[in-house]
Chain A
Amino acid sequence: MQKIIIIKYGELSTKKDNIGYFLNTLKNNIKEVLIDEEVNISLDIGRMFIEVQEESIPKVVAKLKKIFGIHEIIVGYKDLDFTLDALKENTLKLLEAKDFKTFKINTKRSNKKYPYKSMELNNLIGSYILDNKKVKVDVLNPEVIFNIEIRQKEILYYDMKIKGLGGYPVGTLGKGLLMLSGGIDSPVAGFLAAKRGIMLEAIYFESPPHTSENAKNKVLALATILSEYSAKIKVHIVNFTAIQEAILKNIPNDYLITIMRRMMYRISEQIALKNKCLVLINGESIGQVASQTLTSMNCINAVVNMPVIRPVACYDKLQIIDMAKNIGSYETSILPYEDCCTVFVPQHPVINPSLKKACEYEKLIDYEALIKEAILNEEIIYVPLKEEAKYQDIL
């Protein structure tokens, strides 16, 4: 018997003609994540098999838990001996190492030529275990459900299933640009978008000296957390100081945020187009702040033609916080650094901005030139940064 990791796909099985594309993307994503391991990945009907050194299995499973497109992760055993005796012996051997009182054998026979039916096998193997180990059968509520799958080429044995993240493999649906602010919502938005198979790039607006280097590092840390679920993330860092100062100087206070957001949308769309991103993604949640009312969204969204996805639009803040905790971004998100959107918040921002007024006010600044310059000077950082390279001399 060989210890092996088995992957089940779930939602992917709804795909028909292009399932091969989805599976190959998933396989490549897994390979990318396990780049440091010696792995052998093979595709089969309804399953993917990952062979690694036994010691590496816990580490590999922890990584697989963060890959979209996986429905279930199973650590089981593969064997090529189809005889009934082997089935009995292998089952006993695997169950002997476990501590339990009640169990049930659950056989599946996708190889219909196999001479015994599933129910017969359950009985035969179950009674062999009863003869050899002091345990009882409980078909309703067993402590251990031991699965045996009789497949065309091999037999699989397993009892533990670990739930995967589900969703589609990242990259199968193209690329999107995530507006990453450093708050709680945008990383969650990125996570949800990635879950639907969107490969992420991220954009962050910094405004030194009003925002600190810490704020930027925090956003990179958040992008790094997201990259564990997707792949390498290209982070576009745009210096927003000149635009922000121009807005502060020239725009009436209540429209500061509205105009600032319109500028950010414009820049994001241009960078998205340049980088072949098909959508913008952000963490706006309806009604959360003044710039996220429906009228504000209309007024701000009007500057772009590209679809804007707001994955957390309809969630409560508490739900979003729960998701952030599960993703692992919450602790980083709540670090107390000012970002662009929070440094100069007016006392009373307009809640229902008018598109007409916004367009009028914008004429007060030469934003086209400023935007062009900001995009020209963008800084690009890929996360995750390679650790060894980072501390080569020290570690």
Chain B
Amino acid sequence: MIYLDYCATTPVAYEVLDTINKVTKEYIGNANSIHSLGRKSRDLLNSATNQIANIFNVSPNELIYTSGATESNNMALIGVALANRKKGNHIIVSKLEHPSIYSICNHLETLGFEISYVKNTAEGLIDFDDLKKLVRKETILVSICAVNSEVGIRQPLKMIRQIIKKENFGTIFHSDMTQAIGKVSVNLHDVDLASISAHKIYGPKGIGLLYKNSNVDMVPLIYGTSKEENNYRPGTPSLPLIAAFSKAIRLANNDLEKKERFITLLNDKIVNHLKKYPHILINKTNYSIPHILNISLMDVMSEPFVYALEKKEVYVSTNTACSSKELSTSVMAIYNDLNRAKHTIRISLSSLTTTDEVNRFLQIFDEEYSKLSNLK
């Protein structure tokens, strides 16, 4: 099997799986119980949270566990919008967001919020001038992803923050960092809110977190406790997943640069190989990270091609897993070419990927591509 869909999800790391097992077996107490088993669980929970807080240089009470990035995005956008309604009803997002952001925005529109979509440059970066124009007195929130999930564009968050805060100091800045964590270094202090998921960094599915700067006003979306500490996400904390998440974050942040350099080599190899095909377009700009390689097969339908590769046990995707059946909004936003956006294939690489796998993949790719493109 050659798995090249690491941006959809990753296999759970062996050490992380160990933690899930161990904590499930040995920490049976509810972290909210007052007896010794509960306190033992609470103690581990606190240590796990402290470890994450230390890695990201934030305070532990600024971290809220969720079921994943989609929930974090909901909590951030809806929670902030409702809490800051009196200050304004205007929200800005980019055209390069994860589909969940757009669904949330559609919902917010029905609640009376106004959504603006900031333009991007041909290179995929946020258009700073357009952003400057869009931020106004009523703008309560801006949400821009750190790394785009389809084309891998990495945004300069610090600069974006400065622009937003200069126009309106009270505007809150959220970033979906799901595809950035574990791939490139991030600084949570560049934003007020950040969504992070475990299953993209070799952690378990079903756990994520929202970083919320303590100065940000946000209302909870679900209710269930009077305790202040888990006000935003009441209920019994999922200790095995949380401990595993903490470990996954620690492991993913080791040697980020070395891993990135290795993945760049693999990416270059694939790009150089595909250059020979006149009908294959590489959807890559100077700001794409090497972990995500998006291409458009202009003379082949992308869905059948994914199935054809799958038969040879090669796994890639058309665009994001969350909108596989639709056209790539990101490719559309960058290249403004409907045909190109309809024919995308996303290959996502990991430091687990080997050169042999890439060679084998290219060989299978050639075979299947020639079969399908000759049908025309």
Binding site for B on A (CB under 8 A): 36, 55-56, 58-59, 62, 96-99, 212-214, 217, 335-336, 387-388, 390-391, 393-395
10 additional A-B pairs beyond A96-B166, A387-B47, A391-B47, beta carbons within 8 Å, are: A55-B187, A55-B189, A58-B58, A62-B59, A99-B170, A214-B39, A336-B34, A387-B50, A393-B22, A394-B19
1/0 contact trace for B13-28 toward A, CB 8 Å?
0000011001100000
Known A-B contacts A96-B166, A214-B39; A394 and B189 likewise in contact (beta carbons under 8 Å): no
Is B48 among interface residues, defined by CB-CB distance under 8 A? yes
Interface of B is mostly: helix
| Interfacial chain A residues near B246, Cβ < 8 Å | 395
Known A-B contacts A56-B57, A59-B57, A97-B165; A395 and B48 likewise in contact (beta carbons under 8 Å): yes
| Interfacial chain B residues near A56, Cβ < 8 Å | 57
27 contacts between A and B (CB under 8 A): A36-B54, A55-B187, A56-B57, A58-B59, A58-B189, A59-B57, A59-B59, A96-B166, A97-B165, A99-B169, A99-B170, A214-B35, A214-B39, A217-B39, A335-B34, A388-B51, A391-B44, A391-B47, A391-B243, A393-B22, A394-B243, A394-B247, A395-B19, A395-B47, A395-B48, A395-B51, A395-B250
- Bound-state Cα–Cα, A59 to B50, Å: 12
Q: Are A98 and B169 in contact (CB under 8 A)?
A: yes
In residues 41-83 of chain B, which contact A (Cβ within 8 Å)? 44, 47-48, 50-51, 54, 57-59
Known A-B contacts A55-B187, A335-B34; A390 and B47 likewise in contact (beta carbons under 8 Å): yes
Is B110 among interface residues, defined by CB-CB distance under 8 A? no
By beta carbon, the residue of chain A nearest B18 is: A393
| Interfacial chain B residues near A212, Cβ < 8 Å | 36
Q: Are B169 and A394 in contact (CB under 8 A)?
A: no
By beta carbon, the residue of chain A nearest B213 is: A58
**Interchain nearest-CB distance for B80 vs A (Å):** 18
In residues 200-250 of chain B, which contact A (Cβ within 8 Å)? 243, 246-247, 250
- Bound-state Cα–Cα, A98 to B170, Å: 10
| Interfacial chain A residues near B59, Cβ < 8 Å | 58-59, 62
- Bound-state Cα–Cα, A56 to B59, Å: 11
- Bound-state Cα–Cα, A394 to B26, Å: 11
| Interfacial chain A residues near B23, Cβ < 8 Å | 394
**Interchain nearest-CB distance for A54 vs B (Å):** 8
By beta carbon, the residue of chain A nearest B249 is: A395
- Bound-state Cα–Cα, A390 to B48, Å: 11
